[in-house]
Structure formats: C-alpha cells, structure tokens
Structure 1
Amino acid sequence: MVSYYMPCRGHGGGLRLLDLYSIIRKSFPGARLDLVAAKSAPDDAPEAEVLALFDQIRLLDPSDFSVEGFASVGILSIDYDVVDLQYLQSGKFIRAFRQAGAKKIIFSPMESMVRALGTIFRGFALRRAQIGQAWLNITFAAKELRYLFSADAVLCVSKGDAKVLRWFRWWGGVSEIETGVSPFEFRESLKEASHRRDLDEVRRIVFIAFFGSATNRDALNWYLREVHPLVLKSVPGYRFQVVGRGLSAEEVQAESVDLIGEVERIEPCLSGAWVGIAPALSGAGLRGKINQYAVAGIPCVAATLAAKGLAYRDGLSICLAGDAATFAKHCIRLLLYPLENKDMGLAARKVCLANYVWEAKTGQISRLYGGARDADSRKN
C-alpha cells in the first residue's frame, strides 16, 4: 500500500485503512504486506496496529514522496502482485509501478474530487465556494480522472462516489467498499448483545471529524454560525462538543462550545451524548461519523448530502436537513424529548450493525485484492 497519509486512528481515512488491511491480513495470512507512506511530521512513527499489520514499512519525508524517492529505497525493484494507491497524491505513481512490473494496480481517491466538484457547482455550495478553491478542485478532479483511466481497478469509499466515477470509466473496474465501524475504536459497542444508553444530565451534541479537512472545517463553521445560536436559544443549557484534531481553541470560541480536540479513542467521547451531527456543505467520500454515532446508539442529525447513499431512513433512524432552520429543529427536538431520542438511536444502531460492519465486507475485499488484473480493466 502506498498512502500519502499514514494509517492511524487519528482520522477517518487512516482508520479505514487500518480496518481494511486487518481484513486483508486475515484473508491472506501468508501474504507479504508492505507500506509506503509520507511523514506528517519529522518524528512521525507508526502506531502499534500498523506495525502489527505490515511486514515492511517505509516512511518518507513529503519531499521524497516521489518516483525518485521510491527508487532510492528500493520499492520500485520489488515485483508486487498488487499495488494499492491510496489518496489522490498516490495516483501519480501508477506509471512507475506499471513499468516496475506490478500485476495489478488499484487506485483509491478516498474522497472523490470529481464528485466533490459537482457539488460546488450546484445550489447551496455554489454560493459559498471561493473562486480560488473552485479552480483548485478542478485541478484535483482532472488528476483524479487521469488516474481513473490508467489504473487496473478503482476503489471508492461510498456508493455515491462509485456511481459518479462509473460515468467516466464506463468499461468497468470501479467498485465500492463502504467504510465500516472500526473494531479498533468501538470494541465495546460492537460486542454488546443488547445496547443500553444512558443520557447525560447535561444535554450534549457532539461533532466528530478530522478538521485538517477543509470540508469539515466549512461544515463546523456553518453549524456554529447558522445552527448553534438557534439551538442555544431553545435549549439554553445545551453544550456543543467538537472532537477531532486540526483545530485551535481560538477557532471555536463561542458560548456553550467545548473543544475536546484529538482523543486516543472516540468511543468514550460518545458515552452519554444526546445527538451526533454530520453537517456537509460540499464534498464526497467518507461518511463514517454517521455510523460511529449509530453504533453507539446516538441519533444523528445530518445534512442530506452527508447521508446520501446510506441505509438510514429519514425520521426513523436519522434526521435529515437541507437548511439551517430544519437542522436546528431536529437537534432541538432530540434534545427535548429523551424517549424519541432513545428510540431513534436504537433504530440507527440496528441499521448500522446490519449494514456497516467490516466483517460483512470480507468477500468484496478478497475479490478485489486477491486477483491479478481484472479482465474488464483497461490495458496499458
């Protein structure tokens, strides 16, 4: 696996890779699994879970995350059966690994820039997109399309992403493996035969995200600006907690707002919470936070875009909103009516366990990573 961001528990994409490769390790116990990743900091080191999964790990400075850098550490001299290129930044290595003799090259954009670009030029997102950011997205989308055409297989993290990319790669080879609930993070919630959730005395809304992502930052700012004042007015004692790395205290200074920041494990932060939120103004890719709330039995209020393609049903196992007023109304109702809150949380948990656990995806993963080049993929 070549990943611009190292697998880790600190953000959704990194956690997905830990879970994915845990299944690959179980499915192919005799396989050699190597990892090449860029360091996010000079003293960056792999977590214990990463060390247990991979046979060889190469961490490179971002400036060495290049064909020349790969050649210097001998990566391009190894005859790999499968090369898995994760994130857009890794797609540029398709040609190098092709020339090195890789039998099958998989490209996973993680969050589809092609799909995200479409949301920018539609309705709500269009009015808020800066011209410079839109142009940057166009550049990223063009790169993604180039990699989409030249890889042997394309792996998407959602049905929505896969549907869009199949329009461009009409000859086949695009598949999706939706992100499941991580056993690394939710050991207790996943093993409980019967789930009982006690609500905290203080009514609390939680937003879990990796705030190194511009999409998540925009969503947070929108909630704080448009929704939070409405909820606070109707439920004066409520607290809004922001969980995840990538923010400073100065960025979330507001009444009744608590920055929890980066945590070792997400599961304890959800204990007792009343509502989880998933606002989204634009973007694509991972929607794992909805499943994380659900497995803990917490009802979620989500933007319609954030839940698109998921199995949850509006009004039964999730609350969907297309504008700030509706978003606030759903939050307020779930904060004021605990019985309705618990019923929706239980319904969400049932949907999650039936659809979004990694073990159910073992067959898909084995088929994608176990074979040589797909018969219907493009020959290069």
Structure 2
Amino acid sequence: MDERLPDPSRDSGSLRTFNLMRLMRTMGHTVHFLPTKGRFEDPLAPQLHDIGVGLPHGMSATHSASAPAWLRRHAGDYDAIIVSRYHLAWSWLPFLRSAFPRVLRILDTVDLHHLRESREAAAKSSRLLAWAARGTRRRELAATSHADVTWVVSDSEKRLLAKALPSARVRVVSNLHQLPASVPGYEQRRDLVFVGGAQHPPNVDAVHWLLTDIFPRVRRLLPDCRLHLVGAGLREATAHLATVDGVHLHGHVPTLDSLLEGSLVGLAPLRFGAGVKGKVNQYMAHGIPTVGTPMATEGMGLTHGVDVMVAEDADQFAAAVVQLHADPRLWRQISEHGLKNVSRHFSAEAAAPEIVATLSGRRTGPAPPADRPGNGTTR
C-alpha cells in the first residue's frame, strides 16, 4: 500500500517498492498493490502485471475516493498488509489494527524521515525545520508502535528505533538491486553522473553544491569532463543558477541503463539525509565507482579507497574524481568491490531471509487474476 503506482525509473523509493514486490512474487506470495492516490488507469499498471502483481478489483477511476472503502471490504482477505512510509501508516495502521486484528501490519519506513529532517534542520541552522522534524518524529514513532513489524534499511536505523521504542519489532530489509550480466569497463566509459529527483530536499541541496562549488573545481582539473544530472524537476530546481560549462540536464528519463553504463564516476554530495542512499546503490550495481560524503555512504558497509571514495569538501570531491579518472587500477578495484557490496547487502538473496522471517507462517500461493483480490500480501 502506497500513494501511487511505483515508477522504478523515477526515484529510489519506487525502485525499492517495485523490487520488493517482484521478490515476494518470486518467493511465492500473492501480491496486490493498493494505491491511495492517482488514477486507476495509470500507464504504469502493465509493469506490475508483468511481474505478477495484481491491482484491486472494484476500484473507481480515482483511487483517492475509493481506496478507504475498498480496504474496509477487502483487508480481511489478506494475511499481511505492508504500508509504505510513515505518513500513510500513521493514519492507516490504527484503523487496520482495530478492524482487522488478525492481519499482519508491516511498516516499510523507506528511510527514517524524522532523522533526515532533523539533519536538514541542523545543516541549515533552522529552528522551524527542527520543530517540524520533532513533529515528524512523534508521528513516525506512533506509526511504528501501531505496526506489528517495521522494516528499516540499515542496522544504524534499527538501533535508533530500538532505543526510542524498545518493544518494537524491527527488521532490516534494505534496498534491492539486480546486478547486470556484464558491466562495461573503464575504457568504455566517460563523464560524471548524479541521479536524484528534485522532490527530495537532499538532492536539491546536493545539486546546488555540486554546480556552484564541486564541478567548477573538477573542470579546472579536467577541462573536458562532462556532468550528467538526471532526475525529475532538476531543470526547474537549477534555473536560478548560472550556466556551468559541461553540465547536461536530462530531467526524468524512462530508463537509466544507458547513462549509467556510460558513466565513469557517480557523485553523491549529500549533506543531509537518512537511510541507505538509492543513488549509491544504483551506481555500484552498474559498476560505477562512487564519490560521496560520509552522509551518502553511511550504513552500507563501505570503506574509503576500497569500494567507495569518501569526500567531505569540494576539494576532496574534485581530487577523488581526478584520481579515478587517472588511475584505471583504482577504478577497477572500486568498481569490482562495489558490485560485491551490492551482491552481499542489497540483493534479493540478502533481503529474502528477513522477509521470510517477517511473513513466517503466512499463506502463500499463485497470484490470482490481476482484477480480483486474493489471499496474500498487499502493498
């Protein structure tokens, strides 16, 4: 259960949702997706059908008007309901607890929103943002308390929740990525890439820092270097900035594969945030060495100079980019170790045991027709 149908090409949260559902279908669970906003005839619906995920039967054309009524009629048909992100769970889980006490209620946090917001408040020295973050924390912890199981993406977030709510049942189900059959080598690549939509405040801040401080330093050292900015809304978010030579704005693209396969270095200059950063996962899953801040690489089991390059200021970012450009041996080492990190921590094989433990004893079976509800797991 989420607000809209997942678009795996748009943001890491959608990609996570899509891959989680695909994994649960592979594991034998029946899965339906219940969107609470948008329109039923969404062009993304065939993508769900292709991986065996059904959409609810009996919904009107506008989801937002019919989702509550549909859920009241059908929630009891399911063994487990996964609610994505705290703001939906905060309102839906208390209802599900009272109306359907036998249904397993799972909160997928995606990331801890209050942690991200509090870090943004600190980075911007904003009392107003700090006040808002405290409100988010109260709602996020309330949503966790109403869930039977809460999924987080890293051990550090699990420890944080365990300290705040010792009685909560928390499991680490991190981002999922499929590794390609083959990865282009150093010689087949060039340019830098940043992936991230402007709807996410850490991305807007990162792009501003990248264009005003980091990339000009890179260009002075590598005059022919180009930077690709990929993500919905980035063109509008950067309209107030002066034009920077060598920058190519792509906005939202249907698929990232060709851009990622041709990129030499992935950039993650995030100065605040939370959770595991999907862009870093995506870079590494495509064999791209990443230069990122400590914030961007936290909770991922990465080591500077081994499977990632960590930079804390603009000079360090530029130096790391130049080093990866100039040293094919280092590039290949970090590329190879990054792929191993994804396989070890962010693959279907890594996530499956935690999902099995969460859903232990729940019914499984073949998917029903896509236009009919069935027993199983919905999201």
1:72 maps to which residue? 69
Aligned match of 1:376: none
Q: Distance in 2 between matches of 1:233 and 1:56?
A: 52
Contact 1:114 1:145 (C-alpha < 8 Å) held by counterparts: no
Q: TM-score, normalised by structure 2?
A: 0.84
Instruction: Find the counterpart in structure 2 of residue 106 from structure 1.
Output: 106
Q: What is the one-letter code of the residue matched to 1:72? A: A
Shift of 1:138: 2.6
Higher alpha-carbon deviation: 161-170 or 244-253: 244-253
- Paired with 2:329 and 2:339, the residues of 1 have a C-alpha distance of 15
Q: Residue 34 in 1 paired to residue 25 in 2? A: no
Distance 1:26 1:171, change over 3 A: same
Sort the Cα spacing of 1:71 and 1:317 in 2 relative to 1 into closer, same or farther, 3 A. Answer: closer
Cα distance per residue 1:136-176 (max 9 Å; x no partner)? 33322221011112211111122232221111121240111
Q: Specify the SS of the correspondent of 2:19.
A: helix
Structure 1 pair 263/120, CA: closer, same or farther in 2 (3 Å)?
Answer: closer
Is 2:197 the partner of 1:199?
no
Change (3 A) 1:74 1:318: closer
**RMSD of equivalent CA atoms:** 2.5
Higher relative contact order structure (alpha carbons within 8 Å, sequence separation ≥ 6)? 2
Over residues 43-87 of structure 1, what are the superposed CA-to-partner deviations in whole Å (9 max), with x where a residue is unaligned? 7443422124323335885854xxxx5343354543132111101
1:232 to 208, 219, 232: 219
The separation in 2 between residues aligned to 1:240 and 1:41, in whole angstroms, is 36
Give the aligned partner of residue 25 of structure 1: 25
Assess, with a 3 A threshold, how the Cα gap between structure 1 residues 229 and 40 changes in structure 2: closer, same or farther: farther
Question: Distance between the aligned counterparts of 1:162 and 1:60, measured in 2?
Answer: 39
Q: Choose the corresponding residue for 1:209, options 190, 196, 220.
A: 196
Q: Distance in 1 between matches of 2:201 and 2:236?
A: 17
Length, aligned pairs only:
352
Q: 1:247 aligns with which of 223, 234, 248?
A: 234
State the one-letter code of the partner of 1:279.
P
Of all paired residues, the percent bearing the same amino acid is 22
| Map of 2:367 onto structure 1 | none
Residue 235 of structure 1 deviates from its aligned partner by 0.9
Residue in 1 that maps onto 2:268: 278
8 Å contact 1:115–1:164 — kept in the other structure?
A: no
Q: Give the distance between the partners of 1:59 and 1:86, measured in 2 at CA.
A: 22
Query: 1:41 deviation in Å?
Result: 7.0
Q: Could you list the per-position Cα deviations for residues 281-318 of structure 1 after superposition, in whole angstroms to 9, with x for gaps in the alignment?
A: 11112412222212222110011011112122111111
Candidates 303, 325, 333, aligned match of 2:315: 325
SS of residue paired to 2:359: helix
Structure 2 counterpart SS, 1:297: coil
1:162 aligns with 2:158: yes
Equivalent AA in structure 2 for residue 50 of structure 1: L
2:87 to 82, 86, 89: 89
1:142 to 109, 119, 138: 138
SS at match of 1:313: coil
Tell me the CA shift for residue 117 of structure 1: 4.0
Return the alpha-carbon distance in structure 2 between the equivalents of residues 157 and 60 of structure 1. Answer: 34
Whichever residue aligns with residue 231 of structure 1, its letter is V
Map 1:58-69 → 2, pairs under 5 A: 64=65, 69=66
Counterpart residue number, 1:377: none
- 1:306-321 aligned at under 5 Å gives the runs 306-321=296-311
Match of 2:53 in 1: 54
Report if the CA contact (8 A) 2:268-2:290 is conserved: yes
* Aligned partner of residue 353 in structure 2, secondary structure: helix
The answer to whether the 8 Å contact 2:118/2:130 transfers is no
How far apart, CA to CA, are the structure 2 residues paired with 1:114 and 1:317? 29
Distance 1:207 1:226 in 2: 15
- Structure 1 residues 255 and 149: alpha-carbon distance in aligned structure 2, compared to 1, 3 A threshold: same
Q: Where does 1:8-23 land on structure 2 (aligned, <5 Å)?
A: 8-9=7-8, 10-23=10-23
3-state SS of paired residue (2:7): coil
